[in-house]
Amino acid sequence: MAQKQLKWYKLFEDWEEARKKVPLNSTKKVRIGSKKICLAHTKEGFFVVDDECTHMRASLTSGHLNDFNEVICPWHDYRFCLKTGEEKSGKNARPLLTHRIEEKNDSIQLGLYKDEVPPKKDEFSY
Ligand code: FES
């Protein structure tokens, strides 16, 4: 089986800029082409998951974070673990795709698996 390839997108110059643009206990939507990503900053760090709720596709960036490192959907309160993407309120929803955020090449970058990005545009925006 072929190994999935990660593609990296620069989001911030450094962690200081990341903390300034995404303050503690907040989220920000990031677009990579037509793909929408929810970037969350909690006391455990920065996490990136798909923005679209697996229940009925609400934007999780419009939801809120709790003290258990979860993002809560604004529509029906499903709770998703930011580390694993797993739904934690027992509603049996598909888990969210989780992505990587790391310091690479002197900047903060978002890592997406190649086949998870629609091939439309190759850029990001907030
Ligand atoms: S759309 Fe997210 S919980 Fe229903």
pLDDT of residue 5: 85
φ, ψ dihedrals at 57, nearest 5°: 70, 20
For the cut 60, the answer to whether the pLDDT of residue 117 exceeds it is no
Q: What's the gap in Å between 85 CA and the centre of ligand 1?
A: 14
On whether the CB atoms of residues 68 and 49 are closer than 8 A, the answer is no
Q: How far apart are the CA of 53 and the centre of ligand 1, in A?
A: 6
Q: Closest Cα to atom 1, ligand 1: which residue?
A: 56
pTM of the predicted protein model: 0.87
Average pLDDT over residues 20-44: 96
Backbone angles phi, psi at 109, to 5 degrees: -125, 150
Minimal-distance CA residue to ligand 1 atom 3 = 76
For the domain bounded by 6-125, which CATH number is listed? 2.102.10.10
Question: What is the number of residues in the chain?
Answer: 126
For residue 3, pLDDT over 80 is answered with no
| Nearest one of 7, 20, 4 to 124, comparing CA atoms | 7
Select from 64, 72, 76 the residue to mutate for testing ligand 1; criterion: most ligand atoms less than 8 Å from CB.
Answer: 76
Those residues with Cβ within 8 angstroms of residue 105's Cβ, 6 or more apart along the chain or in another chain: none
Q: Could you state, in order of their start, the residue ranges of all structural domains in the chain? A: 6-125
For the segment 79-93, what is each residue's pLDDT rounded down to a tens digit? Answer: 999 999 999 999 888
Residue 118 has what pLDDT? 40
pLDDT, residue 119, reads 39
| pLDDT for position 46 | 98
pLDDT of residue 122 exceeding 70, the answer is no
Q: Ligand 1: which residues within 6 Å by Cβ?
A: 53, 55-56, 58, 73, 75-76, 78
pLDDT in tens, 44-95: 999 999 999 999 999 999 999 999 999 999 999 999 999 999 999 998 889 9
pLDDT at 94: 92
Q: pLDDT-based confidence at 120, cuts 50/70/90?
A: very low
